[in-house]
Amino acid sequence: MEKTITTAQHNKFEKVFTTDHVDVAIAVKDEMLPPYGVQRRRIHRVPPQLRRRSESRREYDPTIVSLGPYHHGQPELCAAEEVKHRFLYRLASGSDANKASLHRMILAQIGELRAYYADEDCVDRFSDGELATMMLLDACLMVALMEGLAGDSDVFLIWHQCLGIATLHFAFPDLMLLENQLPFPALKLILNLRRGKEGAGLINSFLNWFLAGDFNPEGGKKGLELEEEEELPLHLLEACHRMLVGSKSPITKKISGLKFTNPERDITIRSVMDLKSKGIEVTPSSSCSIRDIKFIPGAFQKAELQLPRRVVWTHALSTLSNVIAYEMSPGTVSGFEVLSYANFMKALTESAEDAKELQEQGIFVNRFQNQQQLVEELRGVDTFGMDNSDIFRDVKVEIEEHCKSKAKTWMVDLIHTWFATPWTVIALFAAIILLCLTLVQTYFTINPIT
């Protein structure tokens, strides 16, 4: 089928990333970019190199729910098929005619939806009718789980009857795996039929809940606005990536060629407690986006490092690994923003004290048993020795300038030295009183009272 190619689809994109030994810059020229669409943007499996690095962690494999064809039919995931049929029955109001109508709607687009998947051998195992049924059931499950979070108690009751409520803990993370994705048009079709214009808001609320623990974000918090996007996300995980990055376009678009020197390499981000000792406090930013990581110089030597709020638990870090795998997938237009964010947060969180400070300041909503477990799990997020040297560069430079400035840190050093504990405060005041008494005694020795 012939496709119209717009000028916007041929914009040049350049990205820079850092390996352990060399900065690599890739310039993707206009003539190298096929038009966006099904033929250009596809749902890939996790690159095998990434899987080999994490065979023991299984963060790329679903636990209880299969979505799409890549894991469909695996014995350990078949138990969830019953609940999918129950959710379809619920959405169709128990009508066989409604079920058939929904199936026809998916089937009418099945050629385009089939082409979303890069592993054609896997998808070709299913006929058009089988694939349409699979996508319809999967979309019904995804919509139902989101509605359950929105307050529909019937959803969780159905789940409890089929699988037991404890297994729900594993269902939501399965929605955020790279190999467990449904083409977004299929999800949007069911969402629009079920919720109308509220469908985009439901996804927005779900992602806010998954990332920041806030299903109904307050007015000041920015999220994903699907209706305003020029191009729909490829799948739910890409929508999550857009919310994390804050835009469909990459943060960094510059520099081409191969760099063997890196002037920014001397700039290392310090841990949270090191920053605190230099008068820099961490505070929550106003959105989930890593674009809102900012350094704000403050009056009287106080400064702030604003960071997005995050729920941190095993499955949230698994999602982070899958978003990184998405950034590294063939054809993904990305500046490795989330990968670089993971490196940034790992550098900030070196110890349990750092994790505790982030938790107390409202940056981390810690679901682990203790702070040390959080630190160890965060270290386990593999970034494969890569980093984008331009991501957060300005923030790092501003932090380093603040920390090296004696004028900005002398007051903090004074407070840290003499007011850290009650005993140092008592010792300071005792020394001041002793000094004053000595001065008085010296004065009256030189100038006796006549």
- CA–CA dist 198, 167 (Å, integer): 28
Which of 399, 388, 268 is CA-nearest to residue 26? 388
Phi, psi of 394 (to 5 degrees): -65, -40
Closest CA to 231 of 206, 245, 217, 248: 248
Closest CA to 38 of 108, 106, 104, 117: 117
Q: What is the pLDDT of residue 445?
A: 80
Tell me the C-alpha distance between 205 and 202, whole Å: 5
- pLDDT (0 to 100) of residue 411: 61
Residue type, 62: P
Q: Domain residue spans in the chain?
A: 37-245, 267-407, 419-450
pLDDT, tens digit only, all 450 positions of the chain: 433 334 343 343 344 444 554 444 444 444 444 444 444 689 999 988 888 887 666 889 999 999 999 999 999 999 999 999 999 999 999 999 999 999 999 999 999 999 999 999 999 999 999 999 999 999 999 999 999 999 999 999 999 999 999 999 999 999 999 999 999 999 999 999 998 878 888 998 999 888 887 766 443 345 555 545 568 899 999 999 998 997 555 555 443 333 334 544 557 789 999 999 888 999 999 888 898 899 998 765 678 999 999 989 888 889 999 999 999 999 888 889 999 999 999 999 999 999 999 999 999 999 898 999 999 999 999 999 898 888 899 999 999 888 887 766 666 655 555 555 676 667 767 778 888 888 877 877 887 776
Read out DSSP for 177-219? -TTS---HHHHHHHHHHHHGGGHHHHHHHHHHHHHHS-SS--T
Angstrom distance (rounded) from CA 432 to CA 134: 78
